[in-house]
Chain A
Amino acid sequence: MGARARSACLTGGPVPRRLFASYPQTKTYFPHFDLHPGSAHLRTHGAKVVAALGDAVKSIDNISGALAKLSELHAYVLRVDPVNFKLLSHCLLVTVASHFPADFTADAHTAWDKFLSIVSCILTEKYR
């Protein structure tokens, strides 16, 4: 399901659209972006996020190592409030559920939720 998810539904479009529609306050982190659906900014940035998640999956036994640079970036440069990782994770799950209902079993849901919450922890662990 991982590879299909990356290629089919997570590349830039649905996830940020859902995030900005349900949680408009998240747009405050992107004043420099064109946030119209399908914008090049969103597609490029979405691809970056998806690639990073892919790296985390490939190094699933050492996510901390795989995301070390991103962890520093979020701590010292981006400083995204930790609450937003839950919002983004939820929108990722909604997108996956809507695209792959048959594969998104209760166990798959649990695994993804756990994975995303670990990624979120790692991305905020250097905050202080």
Chain B
Amino acid sequence: MVHFTAEEKAAITSLWGKVNVEDAGGEALGRLLVVYPWTQRFFDSFGNLSSTSAIMGNPKVKSHGKKVLTSFGDAIKNLDNLKGTFAKLSELHCDKLHVDPENFKLLGNVLVIILASHFGKEFTPDVQAVWQKLVAGVATALGHKYH
């Protein structure tokens, strides 16, 4: 069970407050599909994913990315109970979506890279370390109900 200190929670929420969830979500999901093309296997219904520009401009990618990152925002409001927060989503990803939990780690790291590119110097090594802890916690929580 991952535990965040008061300072870590403050670091997370203060950065998150400056994130445009819609833009960052689309970018994170888009980059996942571009950098790790095998992840496209989950998105057959999304239409044109044939090139980088097609993926990054795809409206379904943007809208789904926003959904995913909004749910990340819920995690941030419930840092003391990530497993509870993601219980239903965990069941969904296992039973209906059949997503290999390895993908949660990939997306988490893509998100960290995007935050680094948006925040530059502000995304210090210590800030990164807290976010690595968070994305690892979210990935674990999402995999928790797999059976």
- In the complex formed, the residue of A with least CB distance to B119 is A98
* A106 close to B (CB within 8 Å): yes
| Minimum distance in angstroms from A89 CB to a CB of chain B | 10
Q: How far is the CB of A106 from chain B (nearest CB, A)?
A: 4
Interface range for A: 20 to 34
Question: Contact: A106 with B30, CB < 8 Å?
Answer: yes
Question: Known contacts being A97-B113, A98-B117, A101-B120, is A109 close to B129, with CB within 8 Å?
Answer: no
Using Cβ atoms and an 8 Å threshold, which residues of chain B touch A50? Answer: none
Report whether B129 and A21 are in contact in the complex, using a CB–CB cutoff of 8 Å: yes
Q: Which residues of the other chain, B, contact A14 by a CB distance below 8 angstroms?
A: 125
Contacts of A39 in B (CB 8 A): none
Q: How large, as a class, is the contact surface on chain B? A: 20 to 34
Q: What is the bound-complex CA distance between A110 and B106, given in angstroms? A: 13
The contact of A107 among B52, B121, B123, by CB within 8 Å, is B52
Cβ of B95 under 8 Å from chain A:
no
Given known pairs A18-B125, A98-B120, A98-B123, the reply for A106 and B56 (CB within 8 Å) is yes
> In the assembled complex, which residues on chain A have CB atoms less than 8 Å from the CB atom of B52?
105-107, 110
Distance in Å from the Cβ of A117 to the closest Cβ of chain B?
11
Closest Cβ of chain B to A86, distance in Å, is 9
Residues of chain A having any CB pair with chain B under 8 Å: 14, 17-18, 20-23, 90, 93-95, 97-99, 101, 104-107, 109-110, 113
Q: Which residues of B contact A (CB under 8 A)?
A: 30-31, 34-35, 52, 55-56, 109, 112-114, 116-121, 123, 125-126, 128-129, 132
- 13 extra A-B contacts, CB within 8 A, seeds A94-B112, A98-B116, A106-B31: A18-B125, A20-B125, A22-B132, A23-B132, A97-B113, A98-B123, A106-B55, A107-B52, A109-B31, A109-B34, A109-B113, A110-B52, A113-B35
